[in-house]
Structure 1
Amino acid sequence: MTARERSELARGLTFVSPWLFGFLALTLVPIFLSLYYSFCDYSLLERKPDGTLWPVWIGLENYRNLLGDAEFYRTLRNTAHYAAISLPAGLLVSLGLALMLNAPIRGQAIYRTIIFLPSLVPVVASAMVWMWLFEADLGLINAILSRLGISGTVSMEWFNQWRGLQGEARVRDFALPPQWLVDDRLALTSLALMSIWGIGHTVVIYLAGLQDIPVELYEAAEIDGAGTWRRLLSVTIPMLSPVIFFNLVMAIIGTFQVFAVPFIMTSGGPARATYLYTHYLYDNAFTYLKMGYASAMAWIQLLIILALTGIAFWTSKRWVHYQGR
């Protein structure tokens, strides 16, 4: 290596050193520490017999305790319920909006801006706005429903008799307008539907994919007599499948890490109906200060996300079509 090459290498390393230091100190080291802590008894509230707070190696004990933790399973179910609603709803609504924005309509740039702007609003501000919109007595949504005459009570007696439900198993009547964030049967669904508010980035990615589809394919399909729906199913969706797959993977990763909005809007209530996995992890780490237990939860969360992402990649071979292949 010449002196000039060594000089250029030194300048390059100096240039990237702040990023490398930040990556090591704030990302890589915490990752390995959390893996180590997940095998340790590391509570900041309990001193060890020798009077220290240092982590003590306990092997798989944290993971065994998690498998017997009822709250662990409850939060997993709640998170799966949330994902089952928000993930497909977000992907489908964003795709529909992208298809409309891709059409030759007047004021297209304005509509794109309107759809993208909500994704730029800070999470806390969005949560506060939606808390007011969902407010049972003074919220805008229920005010509109009341003006439309949607009020009263929906009796669920017919359902209870049909299923033969008795006692605590009986389904309660629904009040109209709905008690969005107060009714434990609606709160999680309300939060999942509210997540559609921030799909601006997904719409933009879909729109870029739509504009990359060769026009010749639509012209050939039209010559063959294909209508609007046939062109959508036979041309648009297959050609857009790599973009759909990308958005699906990103949605899986994001949905299973959602925390701020449920934490702000419902704090896990009512009746733990919106108590998600990340909220329970946060409580263990920063409320109960059980760092070892929380680290084990974090690694299980990572394994779940990796498993779901792996399934998505495995199934993608059947429905994702890349140009030129």
Structure 2
Amino acid sequence: MKNKDGRWFYIFISPWLIGFLGLTLGPIIFSIYMSFTDWDLFQSPNFIGFENYINLLTDDPIFWKSVGNTFFYALIAIPMGMSISLWIAYYLNKKLKGITFFRVLYYLPSVVPVVAASLLFIRLFAPTEGLINEMLSFVGIQGPSWLLDPNWVKPALVLMSLWGVGGGVVLLLAGMKGIPPELYEASSIDGASSGQSFFAITFPMLTPVIFFNLITGIIGALQTFAQVFIVTAGGPDNASQMVVPYLFQNAFRFYKMGYASAIAWILFIIILVLTLIVFRSSALWVHYEEGKENG
């Protein structure tokens, strides 16, 4: 009976196992090998050792500019997005009439396809006919050429990232719903204000959700692709170029697959290191309920 159950187990997981080996593990191993070769997709790969990595780290100013742009974007977009998500979730947790409508309203943008959202923001950021500059003109401010000015294109992408804060809002709202109301009742009896209750009860109880949002936010921000590829194509003058779009250009525009694979693995190492740092630091600021341990 045990052998029979074992056979059925492997039969049922075989679709996933085949997909993992053929579509995930196989390409990962292949890309590691490709990162040590010079391959243009049309000829046989030529093994060149660490040359791609050496050129990338010592003789490619565009790569370092893309890394700088990516970190600039992440360092602003992640804290801003998480702060706004927490602020929105706090007010959407209120027991008000019609609050369900607003919850749906704030979540809907996060399910809009990124291509559609990107095309929308191209129109919003238009220098003369864009809605954002028209609104600024009403208060006497001349709006910049958002997507054409090297000084403003990255802030424009940061503003665009706020479009999808609804996903984080849902998780934070669910976390707030799981906080025992007895804690707020006790704090109210002790004379605590709403602000004191938030920082003493709500925020500490939400730190596991904030921790999750931070990890996924770091990974997502460092892998930003579609917004840059569609809205700016890395311009002007590589002012908005980021790591993944630069990887894509090397792979499918310049046909430097080995070089692109090296970029991918350097990005993987960067994400891995940052994720490990956040995990290590979580013991200092993430608070779990009694009986739950920090994994």
- Shared fold per TM-score greater than 0.5: yes
Match of 2:14 in 1: 17
Pick aligned residue for 1:287 from 241, 245, 253: 253
Partner AA of 1:211 in structure 2:
K
Could you tell me which amino acid in structure 1 is paired with residue 21 of structure 2?
Answer: L
Shift of 1:6: 3.7
1:242 aligns with 2:208: yes
Deviation of 1:315 after TM superposition, in Å, equals 1.1
Q: Does 1:226 align with 2:200?
A: no
Alignment partner for residue 60 of structure 1, among 38, 47, 50? 50
- Could you say which residue in structure 2 is the equivalent of 1:301? 267
Which moves more between the two structures, 67-76 or 221-230? Answer: 221-230
Structure 2: runs of 5+ lacking an equivalent:
none
For the pair 1:271 / 2:237, whether they are aligned, the reply is yes
Please list the CA deviations of residues 295-316 of structure 1 after superposition, one character each: whole Å capped at 9, or x if unmatched.
Answer: 1110110000011111111111
Does the alignment pair 1:315 with 2:281? yes
Partner residue of 1:132 out of 111, 115, 123: 123
Do 1:89 and 1:193's aligned partners in 2 also have CA atoms closer than 8 Å?
no
Q: Normalising by structure 2, report the TM-score.
A: 0.95
How many residues in Structure 1 have an aligned counterpart in Structure 2?
A: 290
Contact 1:85 1:193 in 2 (8 A): no
> 1:31 maps to which residue?
28
Q: Does 2:192 match 1:192?
A: no
The CA deviation string for residues 221-270 of structure 1, in whole angstroms up to 9 with x for no partner, is: 22222111111111111111111101000100110001001110111111
Other-structure match for 1:171? none
Q: Please tell me the residue identity of whatever aligns with 2:44.
A: W
Which has the larger Rg? Answer: 1
SS in 2 for 1:21: helix
Residue 106 of structure 1 and its aligned partner are, at CA, apart by 1.4
Which residue of structure 2 aligns with residue 158 of structure 1? Answer: none
Give RMSD over aligned pairs.
1.3
**Would the aligned equivalents of 1:102 and 1:207 in 2 still touch at CA under 8 Å?**
yes
Q: Which residue of 2 aligns with 1:100?
A: 91
Residues of 1 paired with 2:235 and 2:259: CA distance?
23
Deviations 1:269-296 (A, max 9, x none): 1121111111111111111111111111
Contact residue 62 and residue 238 of structure 2 kept, 8 A: no
Please tell me whether the aligned partners of residues 132 and 139 of structure 1 are also in contact (alpha carbons under 8 angstroms). Answer: yes
- State the TM-score, normalized to the length of structure 1: 0.86
Which residue identity lines up with residue 253 of structure 1 in the other structure?
I
The whole-number CA distance in structure 2 between the counterparts of 1:149 and 1:65 is: 49
**Deviation for aligned residue 1:40:** 1.8
Q: Which runs of 5+ in 1 are unaligned?
A: 46-52, 151-175
